[in-house]
Amino acid sequence: MANQAPPGKSEDPAAPPTRKRTVQIIGSPVSRARQVILGVIPILILCLLYAYFSHQRHVENPMDRLMPGFDQLAEGLKEITTPNKRTEEVWLWVDTKASLLRLFKGMGSGLAIAITLGLLMGIFSHVRAIFAPLMTALAKVPPLALLPIIFIFLGVDESSKIVLIALGIAPTLTNDIALAGKAVPQSAVVKAYTLGASTSEVAFKVIFPQILPRILDSIRLTIGPAWIFLIASEAISADSGLGYRIYVVQRQLAMNVILPYVLWIALLGVVMDYVIAAISRWGFPWAHDRGGH
């Protein structure tokens, strides 16, 4: 009996070789090293573009101040990190201390309001029916439009800046916390009541722990707007602060001071975001099991 080839798919020797296609699954995690590399690339591109255009402007006008060169930026950095000849104060540290104090007070006040009211709205439908329309309307009002009203009623002292930040972040945070509380599975609430838990225990031992990672993520998203409200209020009325200093030196076109201040604000924001994200990953690893940030 003649040998027969085993059954199988016949191959055409003239057919081109097939290539295996690599599929990137949506939502798949990226290694830490690749994250760092990919994150550095756009920053490096921006630095190179700035260096190029700054060089071009200085070729045309060596005294150009709108895009200072790296030597001019070094002079500006030295100016803000060494004691001032008149006041003996280091501008950067004095302004940073004043701004961070206002920022933390404002965000703390807004967060206290948002957690309290948002949790009540997420748990009790009657509370949600009362406050949901108001919070939705306030969330749509640009907070900077309220600044003149705040100045009229509270004056131009520290309280007005703190209130602006609190009013700027509280409505959106409240709505987000309320939605998160409402989304907690009803089965978990019913089980807690079945086991004899009181309403306060259900609120703070069942619902609140489940929505806390969502609250931390929401806080991360409000850092940027909170800085905007702070810088705007300091530019209008303050005697210290990062926004105040930027507003003062812009009259002199001191871009070699303004740019380091802007980069410093960005760095502070990134550090705050990283700290909150680290707390969330450490305290609630189950909320980041899909490669979340």
Which CATH number is 89's domain given? 1.10.3720.10
Question: In terms of Cα–Cα distance, which of 103, 76, 81, 90 is closest to 231?
Answer: 103
Does residue 142 share a domain with residue 216? yes
Does residue 109 share a domain with residue 43? no
Within a domain: 183? yes
The whole-angstrom separation of Cα 261 and Cα 242 is: 7
Does residue 242 share a domain with residue 119? yes
Total structural domains within the chain: 2
Contact criterion met (CB below 8 Å) for 244 and 95: yes
> Given this model, what pLDDT does residue 27 score?
64
Does residue 158 share a domain with residue 282? yes
Does residue 272 share a domain with residue 239? yes
- Domain end point (choices 25, 42, 64): 64
pTM, two decimal places: 0.82
The whole-angstrom separation of Cα 110 and Cα 41 is: 36
Does residue 215 share a domain with residue 191? yes
89 compared with 271, residue with greater pLDDT: 271
> Given this model, what pLDDT does residue 292 score?
47
Within a domain: 70? no
pLDDT above 90 covers a percentage of the chain that reads 39
Instruction: Give the pair of three-digit tokens for residue 180.
Output: 């998160």
Does residue 276 share a domain with residue 201? yes
Q: How confident is the model at residue 156 (pLDDT cuts 50, 70, 90)?
A: confident
Does residue 53 share a domain with residue 136? no
Instruction: Give the pair of three-digit tokens for residue 130.
Output: 């009362």
Average pLDDT estimate for 143-166: 88
The whole-angstrom separation of Cα 97 and Cα 99 is: 6
Question: Locate tokens 């800085």: which residue?
Answer: 227
E strands, 32-180, where? Answer: none
Q: How confident is the model at residue 5 (pLDDT cuts 50, 70, 90)?
A: low
Instruction: Give the pair of three-digit tokens for residue 135.
Output: 């919070």
Within a domain: 14? no
Angle at 74 between CA 73 and CA 79, to 5 degrees: 95
pLDDT digits (tens, 9 = 90+) for 243-259: 999 998 888 888 889 99
Within a domain: 1? no
Compute and round to an integer the Cα radius of gyration of the chain. 28
Contact criterion met (CB below 8 Å) for 177 and 218: yes
> Given this model, what pLDDT does residue 14 score?
59
Within a domain: 195? yes
Within a domain: 111? yes
Question: In terms of Cα–Cα distance, which of 258, 263, 170 is closest to 218?
Answer: 170
Angle at 175 between CA 172 and CA 181, to 5 degrees: 140
285 compared with 111, residue with greater pLDDT: 111
Angle at 198 between CA 196 and CA 199, to 5 degrees: 140
The four Cα atoms 22, 27, 32, 34 give a dihedral, to 10 degrees, of: 40
Q: How far is it between the farthest Cα atoms of the chain?
A: 108
Within a domain: 13? no
Does residue 136 share a domain with residue 236? yes
Does residue 44 share a domain with residue 149? no
> Given this model, what pLDDT does residue 15 score?
57
Instruction: Give the pair of three-digit tokens for residue 97.
Output: 């201390």
Within a domain: 132? yes
The whole-angstrom separation of Cα 81 and Cα 208 is: 43
Does residue 226 share a domain with residue 105? yes
Neighbours of 233 (CB within 10 A): 29
115 compared with 62, residue with greater pLDDT: 115
CA distances from 189 to 122, 206, 207, 261 (A): 12, 7, 8, 49
Contact criterion met (CB below 8 Å) for 244 and 171: no
The whole-angstrom separation of Cα 67 and Cα 61 is: 11
Does residue 277 share a domain with residue 133? yes
- Domain end point (choices 25, 43, 64): 64
Q: How confident is the model at residue 13 (pLDDT cuts 50, 70, 90)?
A: low
The whole-angstrom separation of Cα 77 and Cα 66 is: 16
Range of the domain at 42: 33-64
Contact criterion met (CB below 8 Å) for 234 and 99: yes
Q: Which residues contact 288 (CB under 8 A, 6 or more apart)?
A: 213, 280, 281
